[in-house]
Structure 1
Amino acid sequence: MKARFSLSPAAAAAALALSVALSVAIAAGTVATVMATRVSNVQIDDWQMQGSATHAAWPVWRLRLAAAFGNAAAREALADVLVSSAQLDERRAGVELYRQLALDGVPNAQATLGHLLLRGVPGITPDYAESRRWLSVAAAHDPQAAYDLATLYRNGYGVARDSLLSIRWLEQAAQAGVPLAQFQLANEYRFGATLPHDDALALQWLKRAANAELPEANLALAIAYRNGELGMARDEDAYWAYVKESEHDLKHISRP
């Protein structure tokens, strides 16, 4: 004879309530996951802008939520917001998040982490060895990473100085359109000891950097016209024109 077990009405009601609560929780979690992963990049950019500018709790919380549910763009945006925080613990968390993204193979994160570790973050000392590791990975696809590698080898940050390697990465960054690299390459042709002196190439790279609105390049061209350098005749009008361009550029300058 089989024993029969039955729940009391109170127990049955409690079990039903628990089942309903679990179902609601699962449904809510599913909805939250979908909403977090499907949020638009425009919305993420807006939260990132607000978070970086004001570090208000609401946009940062939204980024944290979307990142927690696996939104890749939100993870990068959150890392960017955190490294610019006034709080040291948040800056450290931002660097660590960039490190996780870099290990996950996110190209922009690899380049950014290399840059941060080269320059340092307030309260966080540079790590040249790790910086070189990530910059070497990123340089093939990121011109700024190539420029950072040139800086690292030129100055001997955590490694022996290597002028040839520095020039190699500098040329790659310049060809890819990094204005500071173009300006420095111009100076290498003009003054450097590694490349042969070539005023024509120096002028070519200076003009490319000037066209990219680099104030140093426009000022260098102004001085060259004033003094009649780089194979050019003295030209007072050109001198003042480039001085004005350099002043204009300074109003819009943005440096990494």
Structure 2
Amino acid sequence: MTARFSLRPAAGVASLAVAVAIAAGTLATVATVAATRVSSVQIEDWQMQGAATHAAWPVWRLRLAAAFGNAAAREALADVLVSSAHRDERREGVALYRQLARDAVPSAQGTLGHLLLRGLPGIAPDYVESRRWLSAVASHDPQAAYDLSTLYRNGYGVARDPDLAIRWLEQAAQAGVPLAQFQLANEYRFGTALPHDDALALQWLTRAANAELPEANLALAIAYRNGELGMARDEDAYWAHVKESEHDLKHVSRP
């Protein structure tokens, strides 16, 4: 009799363990569903606040959503971390971007290539890995195309290749990257990779200036002051573009 009743506590413990396991699994499922259903507006809000203030709560919410498989939260978290004042968090952000890039997330591949091209405080550039990721997305990512042209133009981690540099530069300029438009204007005006053409230089310089690139407006101002690029001297136009360049500097945002 004693032996028969002594089995009951063990059975009760087993049943309780099963119940706990089921409850834990249910909670994990609920948490996963909740995390994956977080709206893009919420994620963008947490990302904006995290990047601007690095307050604990938006970063924690991004971490939680990312931990339960929300892909958008993972990328938003990486963006917040790479802008952190703490080197360990910056390294974590780069590592997270690398995971996303290996998972074939195109936006993460372009961003990682951009970060590795320029480096971060305490994190040296890696031109070879940068080129790997930029090459993967440059055909449809204008910023990546511009970055790739920079690598080939300067010979960063690869032999200099003026033809490839111009190819990617033209693609980025055509896609509307102001810095690419400005640089392409200079190639037509001063460069050795393209034939000298003041008309094309003026065309691309004007497009960059219209995109509120400060150095483009300043270059146009100087051209009007000196009567360059086939234009007559124009003091009024000179001052107008000087003022535009000053206005642009207040709103400049560089990737």
Q: Please state which band the TM-score falls in when normalised by the shorter chain.
A: over 0.9
Residue in 1 that maps onto 2:65? 66
Worse-superposed segment, 159-168 or 203-212: 159-168
Secondary structure at the counterpart of residue 240 of structure 2:
helix
* 1:185 aligned onto 2:155: no
Cα distance per residue 1:198-218 (max 9 Å; x no partner): 000000000100110001111
**Offset at residue 27 of structure 1 (A):** 1.8
1:144-155 to structure 2, matched below 5 A, reads: 144-155=143-154
What is the CA-CA distance between 1:10 and the residue it aligns to? 4.9
Structure 1 residue aligned with 2:75: 76
Q: Which digits, 9 at most, give the CA deviation of each residue in 1:52-102, with x for residues without a partner?
A: 122222111111111111111001001111111122221111111111111
User: C-alpha distance in 2, partners of 1:126/1:132?
Assistant: 11
Deviation, 1:18, is 3.3
How far 1:193 moved relative to its partner?
1.0
Q: Secondary structure at the match of 2:233?
A: coil
Distance (Å, rounded) in 1 between the aligned partners of 2:91 and 2:222: 44
| Bigger mean CA offset, 47-56 vs 190-199 | 47-56
Amino acid at match of 1:212: A
CA distance in 1, matches of 2:208, 2:127: 28
**Which residue of structure 2 lines up, in the alignment, with residue 101 of structure 1?**
100
Find the aligned partners of 1:119 and 1:5 in 2 and give their Cα distance.
Answer: 73
Q: Residue type of the partner of 1:36?
A: A
Instruction: Report the TM-score, using the length of structure 1 for normalisation.
Output: 0.94
Partner amino acid for 1:242? H
The one-letter amino acid paired with 2:58 is P
Distance 1:163 1:14 in 2: 74
1:160 counterpart = 2:143:
no
TM-score (norm 2): 0.94
Report the CA distance between 1:163 and its aligned residue. Answer: 1.3
Question: How big is each residue's C-alpha offset from its partner over 1:203-241, in whole Å with a ceiling of 9 and x where there is no partner?
Answer: 000010011000111111111111111111111111111
Q: List alignment gaps of at least 5 residues for structure 1.
A: none
Q: Percent identity?
A: 81
Q: How far apart in 2 are the matches of 1:51 and 1:159?
A: 36
1:52 aligns with 2:32: no
How far residue 17 of structure 1 moved from its aligned partner, in angstroms, is: 3.8
Residues 1-256 of structure 1: matches in 2 within 5 Å?
Answer: 10-11=9-10, 13-256=12-255
SS in 2 for 1:122: coil
Counterpart-to-counterpart distance in 1, 2:41 and 2:57: 16
User: What is the distance in 2 between the residues matched to 1:255 and 1:6?
Assistant: 75
Matched positions, count? 253
- Give the distance between the partners of 1:137 and 1:129, measured in 2 at CA: 13
